[in-house]
Amino acid sequence: MNLILFTFIVLLGFTSYYFGRRKAYTIQSSKKRLTALPQFYGYYLAIWCAIPAFIIFSLWAIFEPTIVKLLVLSDYSNQGYLDDELNLIYEKTKSLSRGQFTGEITPFIEASAEKYLSLRSIAQSSKAVIVLSIIIASVAYAYKRISSNSRTREPVEKFLNAVLFTASLAAILTTVGIVFSLIFQTIDFFKVIPLFDFVFGTHWYPAKAFVRDSSEALDPTMYSDTFGAVPIFAGTFFIALIAMCVAIPIGLMSGIYLAEYASSKVRKYAKPLIEILAGIPTVVYGFFAALTVGPFLKELGTSMGLEVSAESALAAGGVMGIMIIPFISSLSDDVITSVPQSLRDGSYAMGATKSETIKRVIFPAALPGIVGSILLGVSRAIGETMIVVMASGLAANLTFNPLESTSTITAQIVVILIGDQAFGDPKTQAAFALGMSLFLVTLCLNIVALRVVKKYREKYE
Amino acid sequence: MIKIKAKDVDVFYGKKQALYNISLDIEENQVTALIGPSGCGKSTFLRCLNRMNDVIDICNVKGEILINDFNINDKSCDVVRLREKIGMVFQKPNPFPKTLYENVSYGPTIHGMAQSKQEMDEIVETSLKKAALWEEVKDRLHEPGTGLSGGQQQRLCIARAISVRPEVILMDEPCSALDPIATAQIEELIDELKKEHTIIIVTHSMAQAARVSQNTGFFHLGHLIEHGPTDKIFKNPDNTKTQDYITGRFG
């Protein structure tokens, strides 16, 4: 029903566009000058069709359920039911009307289900009638108003402006919403777990916080030595550090090679090949790390007399570094290529060699962009989940030995939220606290990056 | 005395020939102007003299260019040493995104010309003085070179070029991005610089060529049509094409 109505409105929109344009052509043919191109007259009418339809649809969506509910429940209003019971009756009525009710059917509920259905169908048809008549009225009004010198371009442009504004507003509001839900859950978490214990505690063992009933859940003594986040913060930075040790030199050097040394033929093939690396799903990197690199490192270590865990930070960090190479190499290649040729010429003309030119002129000029690409890589490394989950284990050991297993913030969020969990349980809220800290870290990273880039920027014309 | 001797120089961009059989002698400690319509090959010829065309992959230079009787197109020629001796100033001022001091000390640093900080300070100061920029910038040597005005930037580039005491300075339309006052300053500077350096300048301005140069070469469609003393070229050219170009009838 709604779909048919919607299709009908869209058709009406197109028709009014057509009529608007046609009227404009008619005005034009009578040798009067239009104030805008004919299609603006069409858009103008289409907007007069779309806005009322949108307003009525949204009003209906807001008020219809409430009104129907009030009318259905008015039969019960004098019989002394509590609010909760009324809600239950209403839910039963609705599921009965959909034919999904499986309990005992009383005549009362059956009667209200019928009433509910008839109210719904009345609502639907009146909606159709009201929407269509209002649209037609508004389009007709606008059609009459169109004349050679009526303003149509400005309203259309304003409408577009409003649509674009709404789109960006939606994106911003989503961000704000996510951040706030993180903040509130985190605050709840810290009501039970002291902030100090979370930030400075060295034992992370969320499985210990498994509770059977809610009376236990709020007993803070239960959680001592459970949510100490130091091991996973340390693990996160440690693995990211290993990853960057792999990614920065290789990525940067291959970026420099591609931009400055490679012939255009090599560049044409090499760059897309490197960028393919960025298209590999991280899960694939994950099992590459877990099934190939991890065991290989273990064997290599054993043959040298070292004790290497099959799930080592080195395997996870190394593979993560490989994953990040294309970001750094491709971005720094772009940045270096965009340094103006005149600077290169200036340096070569002074008798500088290629490597001197790169080191002393091009690299400094490209530095802000390169720092940007590195920081992008770092935030990828800190946010990466799958490789760590698969290759570095889930036990949060506090260690800086790359040959042992360790865990990261993201991997722990996965551990916490896999399987059954209760909302409002500190174990679940811990995931939000971790998410919040991850968010704060990347936010600080970005702010620092912007500052650094601004301060050390060497501007070229 | 003849400083540079070009013999039968051909230049190709890919398959397209840009210069045909150029033979030209450049006098020491004089200013030689290269004039001609856009795309005639005068900049290309200029870039042959310090082998800047090497940077362009598809560019191919044939023929002999003798500087101090040494053929720079020979395999044994060290481009780094060559460019140390032949400085270049470009059409658009292109200071490095570094401080003024670093801009001027760039050449001496990469050629290891100063043993101490004091020596380097001296080189920077004398170069800036010769480029007539010292008085304007002596208090802000450690500010970025890109913060200067266009004319100052170009004089900075000249200071950068003379910092390694080159024997020859190539100038590729050095004033085309500048206003008349800055242009006058640069022209005055060129007159001063020719005492110690041989200067070759490409210019679109006939008046400029007449003002600053002692010798002039006229290029047209990749050919060197005529060259000789500036006075003669401007007052009594042998070739009618030169006559037409100079009087503004084409180009």
Q: Is B57 in Cβ contact with A460 (below 8 Å)?
A: no
Candidates A448, A454, A457; CA nearest to A375 is A448
Q: Is B96 in Cβ contact with A361 (below 8 Å)?
A: yes
- What residue type is assigned to position B196 of the chain? E
Distance CA B226, CA B219 (A): 7
Residue ending a domain, choose from A122, A148, A174: A148
Higher pLDDT pick, A456 / A96: A96
Distance CA B133, CA B158 (A): 10
Q: Are residues A32 and A135 in the same domain?
A: yes
Q: Is A350 in Cβ contact with B164 (below 8 Å)?
A: yes
Report CA A233 to chain centroid distance, whole Å: 23
Q: Average pLDDT in the A115-131 region? A: 88
Q: Are residues A135 and A231 in the same domain?
A: no
For chain A, the domain total comes to 2
Query: Which structure tokens are listed for A197?
Result: 């214990």
Choice among A184-188, A230-234, A423-427, B242-246 with the minimum mean pLDDT: A423-427
pLDDT at A102 (0 to 100): 74
Distance CA A139, CA A90 (A): 40
Question: Does pLDDT of A72 surpass 70?
Answer: yes
Question: Does pLDDT of B119 surpass 90?
Answer: yes
Is residue A460 within 8 A of residue A340, CB to CB? The reply is yes
- What residue type is assigned to position A152 of the chain? T
- B157-201 tens-digit pLDDT: 999 999 999 999 999 999 888 888 889 989 999 999 999 999 999
Q: Are residues A261 and A410 in the same domain?
A: yes
pLDDT at B46 (0 to 100): 93
pLDDT at B164 (0 to 100): 92
Is residue B148 within 8 A of residue B139, CB to CB? The reply is no
Report DSSP letters for B135-200, one per residue: HHHGGGTTSBGGGS-HHHHHHHHHHHHHTT--SEEEEESTTTTS-HHHHHHHHHHHHHHTTTSEEE
- Counting one residue from chain A and one from chain B, the pairs whose CB atoms sit within 8 A come to 77
The SS3 assignment for A119 reads helix
* Beta pairing, strands B31-35 & B215-220: parallel
ipTM: 0.91
In a domain, A377, yes or no: yes
CA of B208 to nearest chain A CA: how many angstroms apart? 24
Residue B107, CB half-sphere, CA atoms under 13 Å: how many?
30
**First CA to last CA across chain A, in angstroms?**
62
Question: Does pLDDT of A361 surpass 60?
Answer: yes
Chain A CB contacts of B51 under 8 Å are none
Report CA A259 to chain centroid distance, whole Å: 33
Choice among A72-76, A274-278, A347-351, A437-441 with the minimum mean pLDDT: A72-76
In a domain, A216, yes or no: no
pLDDT at B214 (0 to 100): 94
Residue A144, CB half-sphere, CA atoms under 13 Å: how many?
5
N residues, chain B:
251
Query: Which structure tokens are listed for A280?
Result: 């590999």
**CB neighbours of residue A389 within 10 Å:** 24
Report DSSP letters for A14-41, one per residue: HHHHHHHHHHHHHHHHTTPPPSS-HHHH
- A373-416 tens-digit pLDDT: 898 889 889 988 888 888 887 777 888 888 888 888 888 888 88
Distance CA A128, CA B35 (A): 80
Residue identified by tokens 């008015």 is A74
Chain A CB contacts of B107 under 8 Å are 350-351
**What chain B residue is nearest to A356 in terms of C-alpha separation?**
B110
Enumerate the H helices of A213-312 as residue ranges.
214-217, 230-256, 264-279, 282-288, 294-303
Residue A407 at interface with chain B, using a CB cutoff of 8 Å: no
Q: Are residues A237 and A124 in the same domain?
A: no
Residue ending a domain, choose from A148, A171, A205: A148
Question: Does pLDDT of B247 surpass 70?
Answer: yes
N residues, chain A:
461
Q: Tell me the sheet residues that pair with B221.
A: none
Distance CA A283, CA B86 (A): 57
Q: Percentage of chain A with pLDDT > 90?
A: 25
pLDDT at A461 (0 to 100): 47
Distance CA A384, CA A246 (A): 15
Question: Does pLDDT of A71 surpass 90?
Answer: no
B2-246 fold: Rossmann fold (3.40.50)
**What chain B residue is nearest to A342 in terms of C-alpha separation?**
B94
Higher pLDDT pick, A193 / B183: B183
**First CA to last CA across chain B, in angstroms?**
32
- Cα dist. B143→B97, B98, B138, B167 in Å? 10, 8, 10, 29
pLDDT at A284 (0 to 100): 92
Q: Is B57 in Cβ contact with A263 (below 8 Å)?
A: yes
Distance CA B95, CA B160 (A): 9
In a domain, A161, yes or no: no
The SS3 assignment for A95 reads helix
Distance CA A279, CA A273 (A): 10
Mutation for testing the B interface, residue in A268, A350, A355, A356 having most B CBs under 10 Å: A350
Choice among A384-398, A420-434, B49-63 with the minimum mean pLDDT: A420-434
- Of the segments A247-251, A329-333, A456-460, which one has the largest average pLDDT value? A247-251
Residue A213 carries which DSSP code? S
Tell me the residue range of the domain where A428 lies. 223-455
Residue ending a domain, choose from A148, A170, A195: A148
Q: Is B87 in Cβ contact with A460 (below 8 Å)?
A: no
Average pLDDT, chain A: 85
Residue A356 at interface with chain B, using a CB cutoff of 8 Å: yes
Q: Tell me the sheet residues that pair with B61.
A: B11
Question: Does pLDDT of A148 surpass 50?
Answer: yes
Choice among A40-54, A211-225, A232-246 with the minimum mean pLDDT: A211-225
Q: What burial letters (b/e) apply to B35-51, b meaning 16+ CB within 10 Å? A: bbeeebbbbbbbbbbbb
pLDDT at A163 (0 to 100): 94
Query: Which structure tokens are listed for A126?
Result: 């009146």
In a domain, A163, yes or no: no
CA of A326 to nearest chain B CA: how many angstroms apart? 27
Report DSSP letters for chain B, one per residue: -EEEEEEEEEEEETTEEEEEEEEEEEETTSEEEEE-STTSSHHHHHHHHTTGGGGSTTEEEEEEEEETTEETTSTT--HHHHHHHEEEE-SS----SSBHHHHHHHHHHHTT--SSHHHHHHHHHHHHHHTT-HHHHGGGTTSBGGGS-HHHHHHHHHHHHHTT--SEEEEESTTTTS-HHHHHHHHHHHHHHTTTSEEEEE-S-HHHHHHH-SEEEEEETTEEEEEEEHHHHHHS-SSHHHHHHHTTS--
Query: Which structure tokens are listed for A264?
Result: 């255009």
In a domain, A338, yes or no: yes
The SS3 assignment for A355 reads helix
Read off the pLDDT band of A78 (50, 70, 90): confident
Chain A CB contacts of B82 under 8 Å are 351
- What residue type is assigned to position A321 of the chain? G
Q: Are residues A127 and A244 in the same domain?
A: no
Candidates B238, B55, B145; CA nearest to A365 is B145
In a domain, A415, yes or no: yes
Read off the pLDDT band of A223 (50, 70, 90): low
Is residue B7 within 8 A of residue B23, CB to CB? The reply is yes
Distance CA A124, CA A126 (A): 6
Which of A351, A364, A461 minimises the CB distance to B98? A364
Q: Is B81 in Cβ contact with A347 (below 8 Å)?
A: no
Q: Is A347 in Cβ contact with B87 (below 8 Å)?
A: no
Q: Percentage of chain A with pLDDT > 70?
A: 93
In a domain, A138, yes or no: yes
Q: Is B98 in Cβ contact with A351 (below 8 Å)?
A: no
Residue A262 at interface with chain B, using a CB cutoff of 8 Å: no
Is residue A320 within 8 A of residue A285, CB to CB? The reply is yes
CA of B110 to nearest chain A CA: how many angstroms apart? 7
pLDDT at A210 (0 to 100): 60
Distance CA B112, CA B161 (A): 15
Q: Are residues A322 and A428 in the same domain?
A: yes
In a domain, A360, yes or no: yes
Apex CA A391: angle with CA A387 and CA A397, to 5°?
Answer: 110
Q: Is A345 in Cβ contact with B55 (below 8 Å)?
A: yes
Is residue B29 within 8 A of residue B21, CB to CB? The reply is no
